[in-house]
Structure 1
C-alpha cells in the first residue's frame, strides 16, 4: 500500500516535467526527420546532386534520407543498451544532443557548387549521426512515460510523446512552407538552411526541460534490485526472438506508410504542378489532425485493450492509401488537404495505440532495447528506402500511384496478422516483470 502511494506521489510530482520533456524530445526528433525529408524532396536534388536528370537527382537525395535509417538500428542497440544499463534519462539526454548537433550541422554544410563531391559526403555523415540519435529517442520517451504512468491510463499518457511526432512534422512543414515563399534564388542560396538552423533553439529548450525530468521509478527499482541485463539487446533476442519478430512485423506499416505520405507525396504533388507551399500546408493540416487523433487512440487502448486498438488502426492503414492518392490526383487544393487529414488522422494515428502496447510487451531489464529494435529494424528495412521504393513503383505503373497504394495495403495486412498473433497487455504491472530475463520469459500472460 505504501509502495502504491509512493508511486502515485512520484507520478503526481513528476508529471508536469515528464510530459513536456518527452513530448518536446519527440517533437525535435520528428522535426529533424521531416525537415530533412522535405528538403530531400524539394531542394537537395538541385543543391547536392546537380548535373543529373530530375529523376536521378531525386533518387540520390532520397537515398541520403534512407542512409539515416540504416544507422537507426545501431542507435537502438547503443542507446537502448545505455537506457537499460545506465538509465532512461541518461539515454534521452544523449540522443537529444546528438540529433540537435547533426541537424544544425546540415544547415551549415557547403553545397556541391562550393566544394563538389565533398558536399554530398558530408551530408551523408550528418544524416548517419541523425539516424544514430533517432534510433532510440521516441522509444526512450515512451518507455519513460509508460513506467511512470498509472496502469489504468498508461495508454493515454504514453501516447502523448507520440503527439510530439506530429507536432514536429507539423512544425517542420510550417517552417518549410514559410521558407518556400522566398524567391527561388534566395531559397536555394540561404533560405533552405533556416529550418535546420532553427533546430538549435528547439534543442536548447528541450535540453533545459529534459534535464529536469527524474529517472524512471521502474528503472530505479531495477537498479537497486541488481537485476539489470548485462547485454540487454542480446539477452532479449535470445529470450524472446518470436516476440521481437512479431513486433517488427507489426511496426512495418508505420515504418513504410508514414514516409510515403510525409516525404514521397510532396515530390509526387510537385510533379503534378501543385505549388510547394500548398503541399506543405496540406501536410501541416494532416499533422494537426494526427496530433489530436493520437491521444484519442491512446484512450481507446485503455478502454478496449491494446490489441483491439492496434488492429483497428492497422485495418484503416490498409484502406486509406487508395483514397489518399485518388484525392492527390485531383490536384484540387481542398481535396489535397483532406487527403493528408485522412491519412494522418486515421491509419497513422497508430502511434497512439503502439506506445503503451510495445512498452508492455518487453520486460524492464531490456524493455528499452526490445522496443527500440522492434521499431528501428523495420525502419531501416522499409522506412529509409520508402521514398525510393515509392518512386520505383510509380514509375513501374507509368505514373499511376496504385501499385504503390497496393504495396502500402499489403504491408498493412502483414502488420495486421502480426498484431493478431501478439498477446493483450492492458493492465500489466510493469514492476512485476523486472526480474531476471530467465524468469521473465515464464510470464505467459505477458510474454507468451
Structure 2
C-alpha cells in the first residue's frame, strides 16, 4: 500500500488542506448563522418580537422560537441525508449553505412586532424553520466529506474538521455582536442587532466558492457507479441499524446540553440574575472558545490512537460532573470565576467534539451513513440544545435557584454517557454490531 503524504488523504482526491477548508469553512458559516440567532434570542428578540409579554414570558417565547429550529433539524437530517446517500455529499452541502445563509440574511431585514404586529413573530418562526432544516443536513455531510477521504487511522482527525465549525461559529457570532455592542440600547434594539444577520450573505458567498470545488470520496463514488445506492436510505437505516441509531442519538445529547447552557442561556442568566454586563459575558464566552478549539485538536489526535469511543466517554463523564461547579462559579459574580467555569465547559465540549465525527463515521454503514449520522446528531441536538434554555428559564422561575438547572444538564449528560457505553464498534470499517453479519458480508 502506498504511503500517505501529510497533505493528501489515503483515498486520493483533494488535498488535506482542501478537505479541511470545505468542511471547516462551510460549517463555521452555518453555525455562525445559527448562533447569532441564539444570541439575539437571549438579548433582543423578546422585546423586538414579543413586546407585550411579561419579561419572563417574552424570554421564554424568544427561546421557544430558537427551539423551533431544532424541530426542523431532524426533518432536514432525514431529507437531506436521504439525497446525500443517493446523490452525493457535495450537492447537499451546497444546498444546506444556501438554505441556512439565505434565511439568516432575511431575518436581518424582518420588520418587528411594532411594525406589522403578529406577522413579525410568524415570519421569524418560518425563517427559523428553514434555517433549522438546512442545518439538519449540514453536520453529517461536512463530517463525511472529510472522514470518507481519510484512512481508518485518521478518521477522528478528519472528522474534527467539521467540529471546528461549532466553536468558530460561537467565536464569530460573538465578535459580530461585540462589534455592535458599543451602541446604546435604543440603537442596538432598533437596528444594531440586524448587522450580524446581514453580514452572513458575505460568508455564504465565500462558503459557496469553497464547497463548489468539492469531490465526493472514491468509496462513495464507487457505490454510485455500481448502482448500489440505497433506494430509501432512512428505511434501510431503521431496518438494519436501529440500535446504533438510538444509542448515537442519545450520545449526542450531552454536547449541546452543555454548549447551549453556556452560549445561549448564560447570556440571559448572567445578565438578568447574576448582574453581569452583556459585553463582559460575550468576551468571557469568546475567550473560552479558544480552549474549545484547542481541545478538539488534542481529543481528535488521541481518539485516533486509543479509539474515539474511549475519548467520548471521558467527555461525557466530565459533562455529568461539571454543571454544578459551572453555575457555582458564575453565581459568584466574578468575571475570573465565570471564565474558569466557561473554560472547563469548553474543554468538556471539545473532548466530545474531537471524537464524535470519527466515532459516528465508524458505526454506520456507508450506504446509509449520511442519514444515520445526521439524524443521530440532530435528534440529540433537539433534546440537548432546543429544550435546555427553555427548561432552564422555567426551572429558575419556579425555584429561583441554579441547582435544579445544573441537575437537569447533568441528567442529560448521564443519558449520553450510558448510551455511548452501549455503542459497539466491531471493526476498522465501522460495521456496527447490530448489522446482520451475513448481509454485510454478502454485499462485499
TM-score bucket (shorter structure): over 0.9
Aligned with residue 340 of structure 2, among 325, 338, 342: 338
Task: Kindly indicate whether residue 304 of structure 2 is the aligned counterpart of residue 274 of structure 1.
Answer: no
Unaligned runs of 5+ residues in structure 2 are none
CA contact (8 A) 2:11 2:150 kept: no
In structure 2, the residue corresponding to 1:190 is in which secondary structure?
A: helix
Q: Distance in 2 between matches of 1:216 and 1:9?
A: 11
Whether contact under 8 Å (1:75, 1:131) holds in the other structure is yes
Aligned to 2:66: 65
2:381 pairs with 1:379: yes
Asked whether 1:325 is paired with 2:314, we answer no
- Contact 1:89/1:216 (8 A) holds in 2: no
Which residue in 2 is equivalent to 1:446?
none
The answer to which of 101-110 and 400-409 deviates more is: 400-409
Q: Deviations over 1:241-264 (max 9, x none)?
A: 111111111112123222122101
Distance in 2 between residues matched to 1:47 and 1:32, nearest whole Å: 19
Distance 2:13 2:439 in 1: 32
Q: Which residue of 2 aligns with 1:33?
A: 34
Asked whether the 8 Å contact 2:311–2:351 carries over to 1, the reply is no
Distance in 1 between residues matched to 2:36 and 2:12, nearest whole Å? 34
CA distance change for structure 1 residues 192 and 137 in 2, over 3 Å: closer, same or farther? same
State the shift of 1:4 in Å: 9.0
CA 1:254–1:440 in 2, change beyond 3 Å: closer, same or farther? farther
Q: 1:438 offset after TM fit, Å? A: 6.7
Measured in 2, the distance between the counterparts of 1:112 and 1:91 equals: 35
Distance 2:436 2:94 in 1: 30
Q: Could you report, residue by residue, the CA deviation over 1:356-385 in whole angstroms, capped at 9, with x for unpaired residues? A: 101111001000001011111232234212
Q: Distance in 1 between matches of 2:239 and 2:438?
A: 12
CA distances 1:7-55 after superposition (whole Å, capped 9, x unpaired): 9565474322211111011111211111000100011111111021110
CA deviation string 1:286-329 (max 9, x = no partner): 21110111121111111111111011111110111111111111
Asked if structure 2 preserves the Cα contact closer than 8 Å seen for 1:169 and 1:287, the reply is: yes
**Closer, same or farther: CA 232–168 of 1 in aligned 2, 3 Å:** same
C-alpha displacement at 1:222, in angstroms?
Answer: 1.1
- Secondary structure, in 3 states, of the residue corresponding to 1:50? coil
More displaced 10-residue stretch of structure 1: 222-231 or 372-381: 372-381
Aligned counterparts of 2:60 and 2:439: Cα–Cα separation in 1: 44
List aligned pairs for 1:11-410, cutoff 5 A: 11=12, 13-271=14-272, 272-398=274-400, 400-410=401-411
Query: 1:439 offset after TM fit, Å?
Result: 6.2
For 1:19 and 1:44, the matched residues in 2 are separated by: 35
Alignment of 1:423-434 (within 5 A): 423-424=424-425, 428-429=428-429
Structure 1 residues 24 and 105: CA distance shift in structure 2, 3 A: same
For the residue of structure 1 that corresponds to 2:252, the secondary structure is: helix
Tell me the distance in 1 between the aligned counterparts of 2:260 and 2:4: 42
Partners in 2 of 1:41 and 1:2 — Cα distance? Answer: 53
Tell whether the 8 Å contact from 2:384 to 2:412 is kept in structure 1 after alignment: no
Is the contact between residue 258 and residue 348 of structure 1 (CA under 8 Å) also seen in structure 2?
no
- Alpha-carbon distance change, 56 to 441 in structure 1, aligned in 2, over 3 angstroms: farther
CA distance in 1, matches of 2:424, 2:256: 21
Distance in 1, matches of 2:385 and 2:215, equals 32
How far apart in 2 are the matches of 1:236 and 1:155?
A: 23
- SS of 1:68's equivalent in the other structure is helix
TM-score, scaled to structure 2: 0.94
Are the equivalent residues in 2 in contact too, given 1:253–1:415 (CA < 8 A)?
Answer: yes
**Distance 1:239-1:402 versus aligned 2 partners, 3 A rule:** same
Structure 1 residues 322, 218: closer, same or farther in 2, change over 3 A?
same
Q: Which runs of 5+ in 1 are unaligned?
A: 444-448
CA deviation map 1:85-108 (0-9, x unaligned):
000101101001110000000001
